[in-house]
Chains A and B, each alone.
Chain A
Amino acid sequence: AQSVTQLDSQVPVFEEAPVELRCNYSSSVSVYLFWYVQYPNQGLQLLLKYLSGSTLVKGINGFEAEFNKSQTSFHLRKPSVHISDTAEYFCAVSESHRGGGGADGLTFGKGTHLIIQP
């Protein structure tokens, strides 16, 4: 079984400053990794995903994440945040051992609330 740890429950950042949201995972097999964003009273929107290939993944809204297998991390970064980035961010993992069959459920972290201060 896999697990996801998002150590920071809340991250306050000033507008236009850079931000990094941390995510670590544990799994006994290879994984696929995801970041989702949840704006207030809305559903989950995919920011980016790592399936294979380049360890630096670029997503929507200027976000990127880097997969580090040795550190079992998949931290999310943005060089300059905007007030509209205020939201809950979830890291998620799925085991890839079934060859991408798609049946595996996602295991989510507890989420990080990104608060942008003007």
Chain B
Amino acid sequence: EPEVTQTPSHQVTQMGQEVILRCVPISNHLYFYWYRQILGQKVEFLVSFYNNEISEKSEIFDDQFSVERPDGSNFTLKIRSTKLEDSAMYFCASSQATYGYTFGSGTRLTVV
């Protein structure tokens, strides 16, 4: 069964550093998403991406966040200057137009 692949599974970074989280969506999917889950809290929508541009973004997705599909297979989330409160599990997802969301296993980001 096709999978969404996320790397790394766990990343530790110092406060103020830039971090890039990587995702390989399912190859024939058209829509790509990032979600985050702070420990013990609910999963929150960050951004959706279609046709090489952002379709929707939440209030959480401020100027320190950016997304990119650099080479037609990868989908990345960049956090420019990490804060302690950015520590969370970040999930990538992809879907076709019929809401067949598939989530990756997540990247646990720890900001110290």
Contacts and interface: CB of A to CB of B under 8 A. Distances in A.
Interface of A: 32, 34, 36, 42-46, 49, 51, 90, 92, 94, 100-111
Contacts of B50: 102-103
Interface string B18-60: 0000000000001101010000011111111010000110100
B39 to A, nearest CB: 12
Given A46-B103, A51-B98, A106-B35, 9 more contacts: A32-B99, A34-B99, A43-B91, A105-B47, A105-B48, A106-B33, A106-B101, A108-B35, A108-B43
Nearest to A105: B45
Interface of B: 30-31, 33, 35, 41-48, 50, 55-56, 58, 91, 93, 95-99, 101-106
Counting from the closest, the 7 A-B pairs by CB-CB distance are: A105-B45, A103-B55, A43-B105, A44-B103, A108-B43, A102-B31, A110-B42
B42 A109 contact: yes
Nearest to A42: B105
A105 B33 contact: yes
B45 A106 contact: yes
13 contacts: A36-B103, A43-B104, A46-B101, A94-B99, A100-B97, A102-B30, A102-B96, A105-B33, A105-B56, A106-B43, A108-B35, A108-B43, A109-B42
